[in-house]
Chains A and B, each alone.
Chain A
Amino acid sequence: MTQPTATATPAPGPEGDTLAEELAAIPYEPLLPVEQRLIAGSLLLGVALLGVLLWASSTFFPIQALTK
């Protein structure tokens, strides 16, 4: 299977002990302030854009004009 292009069909992953060892070896990393800002910023932007995009949808692509 072709790898590692982003959209290629995925190859099977490692199984059994290899994966177990890999996951067991994950180090603890505290959530950094920059990560907290990324999470909060993403959620806030999502909520803020919700209103804007809904307004744009209803204003420029009203449903009445679409229903046949």
Chain B
Amino acid sequence: MRSWLSNEDWWAVWLGLLVVLLALPAASGYDLLGWLAAPGIWLDPAKAVGPISKSFAGFPKVASVLLTYAAVLGLVGLGASVQRFDLRRFVPGFTVIFGISYLSWLIGHYAYIAQTPDKRAAMGLSWSLGLTGEAGYIVALLAGLAIGNVLPGLAGWLKEAARPEWYIKTAIVILGASLGIKAAAASGLVSAIMFRGLAAIIEAYLIYWALVYFLARKYFKFSREWAAPLASGISICGVSAAITTGAAIRARPVVPIMVSSLVVIFSVIELLVLPFAAQAFLAHEPMVAAAWMGLAVKTDGAAVASGAITDALIRGKAAGAGLAYEPGWMLTTTTTVKVFIDVFIGIWALVLAAVWVYGIEKKPGQTLPIRAIAERFPKFVLGYFFLFLALLGAALARPDALDGLKAATAQSDLLRSLFFVLTFFTIGLGANFKRLRAEGIGRLALVYVISLFGFIIWIGLAISWLFFHGVHPPTLGGS
């Protein structure tokens, strides 16, 4: 089968494009997705969810939720079918995953959890956690962790549909459309985020990788075959970097797969800790906090998920101080940093391949594995940039259509949020902490812990500070 039909990366692109294409007619008043079920902050469960568009205000809420489920199942089911997943396991598994994820999302919108301090009085609340509706992501993550670690049988049954990387990549592609619209309204800020994000990842990559590789080789006596994927996996890129580096230096598959297992577990720990640390210590520097998530948290899913939680937590805290940041800018910053990291993986893999072929192995006739590296280039990045440029171009060409395009991307953003919830739940589901007890993993885990908590987090924070301090998201009302 052609590669653009046979892997998750390409299917993230196709699904993202399809979602945005279906949402776009709303810009011209043709509301194809207005029935999508959107959660709202609630005290009365009957008001927890409703159609996203006012033109569907009379639409039954239960039908709205069921149709949303059917639509998302149709999208991922199409991709699963063409990728030849086992549909007899995928469809029921996805149904359970969707149900628990959506329920978690709704729970996260409970007013005492979600409502920000500035709006408590309007709902008659004397207190609330102020986490915004994105608290649903945390609920979904905890639900996934509980099932993954307490009910491994159920987690195993859901495995065919538990695909956090596919879901987050689809969400990132959809996010490209929103970023295009944001850029049309605040081009200076978006171009700055892009440049500074690129600068930050170049810095982080060059420093992180060398330090982790040196530590693994010099002090932990790992072989080159282990040290290189370990350095790539630990340093900033996680799973995709470990696997791409493994291919570049022709490591055996066991190496990047083992490294990836550790990356997944530790990224969940980071996801549970770093956004709250950012809220506590960096609420006055929201973009520093956002870039830090992109530089410090591994795997696309966990990094972007951390950006989403950080966005919600800091906005909630700022709202308490009377400062209403526009939602999504911190998430955009984290995502941009992460996307550039994914692009940089390919470049770094080429450098490593050249060093290995011409400097270390020196086997006669051996050439650079360019094709293997190219095959591992993250294609969803193309979808992200395509939608960013397409929507930016459309908004710049037709400034009068900007409000309509904002309404359209609000609908695609709802599905993006839904893919986020699915990602959080399935990240938790796949993080089996019992793996840390596997005999022999201690040495690998020790390098990981020393590198991650010893310098990666702190260097990432310093670099984020250097490039993003003083940059703030726009505030609601344009103040």
Same assembly: yes
Main secondary structure of the interface of B (DSSP, over half): helix
Contact residues on A (Cβ < 8 Å of other chain), bracket: 35 or more
Among B7, B195, B209, the residue within 8 A (CB) of A61 is B195
A49–B200 Cα distance when bound, in Å, is 10
A41–B240 Cα distance when bound, in Å, is 24
Question: Is the pair A15, B226 in contact by a Cβ cutoff of 8 Å?
Answer: no
- Please encode chain B, from 262 to 297, with 1 for each CB lying within 8 Å of some chain A CB and 0 for all others: 011000000000000000000000000000000000
Among B163, B375, B467, the residue within 8 A (CB) of A5 is B375
Contacts of B224 in A (CB 8 A): 29, 35
The 3 closest A-B pairs by CB, nearest first: A20-B440, A6-B376, A46-B206
B446 CB, nearest partner CB in chain A, Å: 12
User: Which partner residue on chain B sits nearest A5 by CB separation?
Assistant: B7
Tell me if B257 counts as interface (CB < 8 A to partner A): yes
Question: Is the pair A7, B239 in contact by a Cβ cutoff of 8 Å?
Answer: yes
B50 CB, nearest partner CB in chain A, Å: 32
Most chain B CB neighbours (cut-off 10 Å) among A6, A46, A66: A6
Contact residues on B (Cβ < 8 Å of other chain), bracket: 35 or more
User: Which partner residue on chain B sits nearest A46 by CB separation?
Assistant: B206
User: Which partner residue on chain B sits nearest A52 by CB separation?
Assistant: B199
Given contacts A3-B253, A10-B264, A53-B467, 8 further A-B contacts (CB under 8 A): A1-B159, A1-B163, A16-B438, A17-B439, A20-B439, A26-B222, A43-B207, A45-B206
Contacts of B163 in A (CB 8 A): 1, 9
Question: Is the pair B221, A9 in contact by a Cβ cutoff of 8 Å?
Answer: no
User: Which partner residue on chain B sits nearest A53 by CB separation?
Assistant: B199
Question: Is the pair B7, A2 in contact by a Cβ cutoff of 8 Å?
Answer: yes
CB contacts under 8 Å to A, within B173-230, are 186, 188-189, 191-192, 195-196, 199, 202-203, 206-207, 209-211, 213-214, 217-218, 221-224, 226
Question: Is the pair B261, A12 in contact by a Cβ cutoff of 8 Å?
Answer: yes
